[in-house]
Chain A
Amino acid sequence: MRRAALLAALAATLVVPCAAQTAAPPESFTSQDKGYCIACHQLPEGAGPRTRADLGPALTGERMRALGRAKVREVIEDPTRANPDTVMPPYGRHRILDAAEIQRLVEFLLALP
């Protein structure tokens, strides 16, 4: 019984780091001549460079997963379809990023803590 409780406690300590673990942002997120998403959006602590950028909303995994994979991809490809007044660049429509770069961004965003 005590052993089971100990294992359960140990497992609990492992869950938190695994869930919070995230890959470094892809180059297209941080590079000025690519997406440069970091200039407008903040990331959760530990998920990438810290800035005070707030021209766009803060990005969280919870928000990205609520939007869903297809919607996140659509917003990156052409955010003006959903919001003509947005200041976010149409990364796919204007060929700032290619399909593979957009895919890597989608996966990175969905995996955010």
Chain B
Amino acid sequence: MRCLRTLLVAAVLATPTVDAATPEAVRGEIAARLREKLPALAPADYALGAAALDPDLRARVQDNAAAAAPVVAAGKALWMRKFKDGRSLSGCFPNGGKRVAQAYPQYDARLKRVITLETAVNQCLKSHNESPYDAADPDTMGAVMAYLRSLADGQKAAVRVPAGAEERFEQGRRLYFTRLGQRNYACASCHVQGAGKRFGDIPLSPPMGQTTHWPVLRDGKAITLQARMRECLELMGAAAFPAGSEELNDLEYFLSYLSNGQALSANPYRNW
């Protein structure tokens, strides 16, 4: 059954695109829909996610702003840790990793693939003969992201979709809008069609701004964006793609482009 679900999703995603719009046109169309659905919400607040739509949640995030400190410190230790060859993660990124997160994911024209920040970290580890991290593991990749993304706090998301990358963006868009899983939801069912409505007691965040505040801190652990995407897919009754898979990388690419211009703010507290 699980295998059948995976095959069905793969078949849907493999269907050739007929009339793909440009990334900027897609972004403009979604922005217009959100302005219509959430006229009282300032676009600058989209980056707060669900907390933008609930004063109580917003207060909880503000009151627990210091909760991330231990995880950020653990991530910094991993970032600075010397590899067996004497190098470190810090040495793989420009400026020691300061102000780089806002430009990820990036498209690698040679590999014809999307490179997320997590992928880039694992590329660095592999190139120095170190074991890569599990892309959804809070204690390693989550902690590194908590530190690395904190180095870009306040920077505005600036993800590019260069020539040749449109297909990856389009695949991400298709996955976002494709109904899948036993419950027949698309990501967009809740986050575009239902943006601002409440699922249980929690408001559904709009897609723009969704990628700006990761990882989130839940029960003291750094939960990465793709780990959260997997939780959503499981709730939808779908076989969740692995963190770091081409499908989730494309989805992250699409969503991150939608958030261009929004300020990054890593490690917000989440207890919902």
Q: Contacts A39-B199, A87-B190 known; A55 to B204 CB distance under 8 Å?
A: yes
Q: Do the beta carbons of A53 and B199 come within 8 Å of each other? A: yes
Nearest CB in chain A: distance from B24 CB, A: 26
Q: List residues of A (55-113) whose CB comes within 8 Å of B's CBs.
A: 55, 80, 85, 87, 89-90, 94-96
Which residues of B lie under 8 Å from residue A54 when comparing CB positions? 197-198
Which residues of B234-256 are within 8 A (CB) of A? 235, 237
Interface residues of B in 174-227 (CB under 8 A from A): 182-185, 189-190, 193-194, 197-201, 204
Q: Would A96 and B182 count as touching, CB distance under 8 A? A: yes
Residue of B183, B197, B199, B204 near A89 (CB, 8 A) is B183
Interface size class of B (residues with CB under 8 A): 10 to 19
Complex Cα distance, B199 from A52, in Å, reads 8
Q: In the complex, which residues of chain B have a beta carbon less than 8 angstroms from the beta carbon of A96?
A: 182-183, 237
Query: When chains A and B are docked, how far (Å) is the Cα of A96 from the Cα of B194?
Result: 22
Contact (Cβ within 8 A) B184 A53: no
Q: Tell me if A87 and B201 are in contact (CB < 8 A).
A: no
In the complex, the answer to whether B184 meets A90 with C-beta atoms within 8 Å is yes
Give the CA-CA distance A94 to B199 in the complex, in Å: 21
Q: B193: which A residues are within 8 A, CB to CB?
A: 85, 87
Q: Does A31 contact B (CB under 8 A)?
A: no
A29 to B111, CA, bound (A): 48
Tell me the bound Cα distance from A113 to B185 in angstroms: 30
Chain B min CB distance to A80 (Å)? 7
When the two chains form their complex, are residues A53 and B200 in contact, meaning their CB atoms are under 8 A apart?
yes
With a cutoff of 8 Å between Cβ atoms, the chain A residues found around residue B200 in the complex are: 38-39, 51, 53
With A40-B199, A96-B183 given, name 14 new contacts (CB 8 A).
Answer: A39-B199, A51-B200, A51-B201, A54-B198, A85-B193, A87-B190, A87-B193, A89-B183, A89-B184, A89-B185, A89-B237, A90-B184, A94-B183, A94-B184
Chain B: residues with CB nearer than 8 A to chain A? Answer: 182-185, 189-190, 193-194, 197-201, 204, 235, 237
Q: List 13 A-B contacts (CB under 8 A).
A: A39-B200, A51-B200, A51-B201, A53-B198, A54-B197, A55-B190, A55-B197, A55-B198, A87-B185, A87-B193, A87-B194, A89-B184, A94-B184
